[in-house]
Structure formats: C-alpha cells, structure tokens
Amino acid sequence: MDLTGKNAVVSGGSLGIGSSICIELGKAGANVALNYRKHGDEAEAIAEEIRKMGRKAFAFKADVTSYKDVEAMVSKAKEEFGRIDILVNNAGINWDGVIWKMTEEQWDTVINTNLKGYFSFSRLVSPLFKEQNFGRIVNITSINGLRGKFGQANYSASKAGIIGFTKAIAKELGKYGVTVNAVAPGMILTQMMANLPENIKDAAKDESVLKRIGLPEEVAHLVVFLCSDKAKHITGEVIKVDGGQYI
C-alpha cells in the first residue's frame, strides 16, 4: 500500500499497537503526528524512527480527554504538514472492576479517554476532510466491544460505543469522500500484555482458533490497508484481528 504524500494523525502512538501503526504508516510513505500523554521518550523515539525513513514526524503531548489539548495537536499537524489526510483514533485505557465495585472515577476515566478522545479528534478533522473531499478515519475498538468482558463494563461499553460512533460518522462523512472504519483486535502481545500472568495469555490462546496471540504489526497492517486507495470502497465496517478469538 502506497501512502506517499499523505499526512496522518495517530492518538496513543507511543506504545503497543499505536506505535506499530505509526511505524507502518511511515513505511507506507505517510508523514505522522503521534500523540502521547506519559511516554514522551518512547513517542519521540517512534517519531525519530519515522524521520529516518525520510518522512516528517513529530510527537505531541496531549491529554485526549481535553478538547483543547486535542485541538492544539490537530492545529500543529495542519501547520507542520499543510493538510491532514488520515486520522487513527487509538488512545485508550482500561481500569477493571466488577460493576458492584466499580467507582464513578473508574467509569468516567475510561469513558472519557476511550470515547471523548475519539470524538474530539474526529470532530476537529471532519471540517478539513469535508473541505478537501478526502479523508480516512480508522478507530481502534476491541472484540470486547462486540461480546463484553467480565470485569470490564466500562471498557466494553466504551469499545461498543466506538463501533456505533464509527457507523454514525461513516454515514455523515461518506458523501465527502471520507471512509470511516473500525478495527477490533483480540489479545495482542503489547508491552502491557507481555507482563500478564501466563494463565491469562494461555486462556486467550485457547479461545483463538489459531492458538496464538496476535502481534501489534498485524493490527497495523490492516490499518494501513484501510487508509489506502485499495480500501476506498470500504466504510462503516468493523474488522476483527483476533485469530478467531471472537468466534
């Protein structure tokens, strides 16, 4: 897939799936602006790796729960790149607990990060995409937004919300040449997942018909495809990358 000359904004780009998405977008030819909140060194290292490919790239500190922070990042990306062609909403967190023990803070923090952040970025790039009659939005959700997950009512609700959000704005933006799709990973071997107890990883493998845990770049490859011209007739879809874990 060739994304030469395209400009991408990626939220949550410093670690895990997000960092792989940034790298693969860069490999495909895109310039990349990546967001981080805590992991500045890691984010700058990703940006530097992309710059070594001959692309433009920068890391931007922003709290995705803050509309003003997101607005500042989008403005910076437009200033640096001239235009924005691609948005990948990836920033998200989990804060687990069964519903009878979950606090209001747990609920609000996860919902605001995982849903409001997606709204803010999408709200801000949509006028740009409409004006240029082109755009690609890819929202990272989860198979747990499709099936629910014990101990993750807040996370599952946010990821299910992303699916509805994706379909709604796909309808709103389609006539302007903008595609909007969601990618739903299963268990993926990120830095955070690598530290999970072996029994949890084994349970995920047992659920998968392929009997393996996915890799971040396997999610990123699909994201790059959805951002390319090869996927220009695909919109409003939710595509799982889970090795058959959901089925």
Q: Which residues are catalytic?
A: 155
CA–CA distance, 153 with 103 (Å, rounded to integer) = 11
Contacts of 7 (CB under 8 A, 6+ apart): 30, 31, 32, 33, 56, 77, 81, 82, 83, 84, 85, 86
CA–CA distance, 200 with 208 (Å, rounded to integer) = 13
Angle between helical axes of 153-173 and 117-132 (0-180°, round to 10): 10
Residue 67 buriedness (CB in 10 A; 0-12 / 13-18 / 19+) = middle
120: its two tokens? 């803010």
**Of 137, 158, 132, 154, nearest to 236 (Cα)?**
137
Helix (H, G, I), strand (E, B) or coil at 177: coil
Residue 189 buriedness (CB in 10 A; 0-12 / 13-18 / 19+) = middle
